Structure 1
Amino acid sequence: MRAFLNRLRRWLWRQLFFRMVFGEQGRAGPYLPQTRIAPSTCIEGEAGLELADHVFIGQFNFLDATAGLRIGEGVQITNFVSIVTHSSHRSIRLLGRAYASYEYTAPGYVRSPIVIGAYSFIGPHSVVEAGSHIGKGVVVCAHSRIRGHVPDFAILAGSPARVIGDVRLGDAQLLERHPELASHYAAWAGELPLAEPMHE
């Protein structure tokens, strides 16, 4: 009986609290029918979040939008990802107890918006730091730490993350096998991938 009650409890919890539902309301008011945000994702400063449609944000993420966070169409943010638009640890360390009552902008305080380009993928347990600009079609591998500018179509890995490849190589092979998808790809990417793309 106890095992049955535990299964029932877990089933109810999943149905009530961790169910993905289509449809979100964008900051500027448009309804985003294909966007899904898991209920376990924490969004701080939601007024600064700018979402496009067809976005997926998985379970147990932390999104800090206090300094502005723009997430492009088709972006996938998996699970256990932290995206932070501010950092106060240096300021707190410098000011100690005085940090809470400091009247001016604290020395060392970082606050800068983040942009994630269309159809990018952020792998689990990754961190995107303040001021980062991730281009379109980027793949961020699991456990990566992103800081700064990331070119379109890059594959990133590591902490700190570095470019280890280009998604267009694999995309070109898939489009060769499925040419009927070329117009869908070109609609968001702006062009079809070449066999050997080069980053600027």
Structure 2
Amino acid sequence: MTKRHVSLPTEADEGITAFIDQVDDRLSSSEDTCEVVRDTLVDLFGDRDAYERWQAGADVTPAERVRLQGYDPCNATLESEYYAEKDEERYTRSKHLQWLWRQFDATPMADNIDFALRFRQMLAKHLFAEAGDNLRLFKGISFTYGHNIEVGDNTVIHDDVHLDDRGKLTIGDRVSVSDSAHIYSHDHDVNDQTAVENYHTIVDDDARVTYDSMVRAGCRIGKNAVVGAKSTVQGDVPDHHIVAGSPARDIRVKPGWESVADPVEEKLVNRADERRIEYDLPDDLDTFDEFQRDLTPPDGVDAPEADD
């Protein structure tokens, strides 16, 4: 669908540009990322006066203290922080930037499309392993770490999409990922859900992953391919093909692309094992099993892995 150009009033645009440039400059400097995130959130939430009074030693209620402390990402924990195999050095900065991304989305300004898209584009340049030009990153996007994501140019990712980069996630140029889609790069053993395998998941150039669909870890969505709404992809989607269903099946080739596309196959081929990412855990890692289950099958046979 053809879009029309929309612009903000000059004064508003100048203010937004100055703010984004300021945050960008601070994140690009040697300044502590925690401090940059804290200061940015204090001001975005309009809490500067209360924060400075608290820093000066004024009495605050326990609830106020929690709120004011919460602007600092060093005072927060995220689910991915508990993952044993994470890269500790890379994760520290990624966590701070992810906190800024999430809390920005909780502000009223996150609904100002022009401002929000430009702000997230700037953050993506600092957070992702690679962030192309002219990205359109909408509200409610979540990710595991952020630093294992590569996104090409002119790609759009809509509301409430989950980009799991516990393994590695590559999204190409001119890709469209619709609302509420989930793209995974890790999977769990069907018997022992604490046993995690990481993979490289790929959504290639010009592909579309449509509404509320799920792409399993280690799959490749081919160039110019389409994943139908509410589909579950458990294998590779060939270039120029349309798949749909749960599990997704190959329906047809996109009209006009028949001469350059492979023949339609009913069942998608799963090549996830070719894209497995191995990792080692430190010998002195302090781990815990949150489930404390007896995982020994009575028949002594391991079951195949299941989808996340």
TM interval, short-chain normalised: 0.5 to 0.7
Aligned residue among 17, 21, 33 for 2:110: 17
Unaligned runs of 5+ in 2: 1-105, 264-308
Matches of 1:125 and 1:151, distance apart in 2: 20
Aligned residue among 129, 133, 138 for 1:33: 133
Query: Are residues 1:75 and 2:175 paired?
Result: yes
How far 1:156 sits from its partner (Å)?
A: 0.6
How far 1:199 sits from its partner (Å)?
A: 1.3
- Residues 44, 65 of structure 1: 8 Å contact kept: yes
Under a length normalisation based on structure 1, what TM-score does the superposition of the two structures give?
Answer: 0.67
Percent of residue pairs bearing the same amino acid type: 25
- Residues 136, 153 of structure 1: 8 Å contact kept: yes
Aligned residue among 31, 34, 44 for 2:144: 44
Return the letter of the residue paired with 2:185.
T
Change in CA separation of 1:65 and 1:28 when aligned onto 2, cut-off 3 Å: closer
How far 1:134 sits from its partner (Å)?
A: 1.1
Matches of 1:124 and 1:29, distance apart in 2: 25
Equivalent residue number for residue 199 of structure 1:
262
SS across alignment from 2:117 = coil
Aligned residue among 244, 249, 263 for 1:162: 249
Equivalent residue number for residue 188 of structure 2:
88
Change in CA separation of 1:29 and 1:58 when aligned onto 2, cut-off 3 Å: closer
Matches of 1:17 and 1:118, distance apart in 2: 28
The structure carrying a bigger helix percent of its residues is 2
Matched positions, count:
150
- Residues 110, 130 of structure 1: 8 Å contact kept: no
SS across alignment from 1:25 = helix
Equivalent residue number for residue 226 of structure 2:
139
- Residues 62, 83 of structure 1: 8 Å contact kept: yes
Return the letter of the residue paired with 1:17.
A
How far 1:92 sits from its partner (Å)?
A: 3.9
Matches of 2:240 and 2:220, distance apart in 1: 13
Unaligned runs of 5+ in 1: 1-12, 94-98, 100-105, 173-192
Return the letter of the residue paired with 1:162.
R
Higher relative contact order (CA 8 A, sep 6+): 1
Change in CA separation of 1:198 and 1:70 when aligned onto 2, cut-off 3 Å: closer
How far 1:33 sits from its partner (Å)?
A: 3.1
- Residues 166, 197 of structure 1: 8 Å contact kept: no
The structure carrying a bigger strand percent of its residues is 1
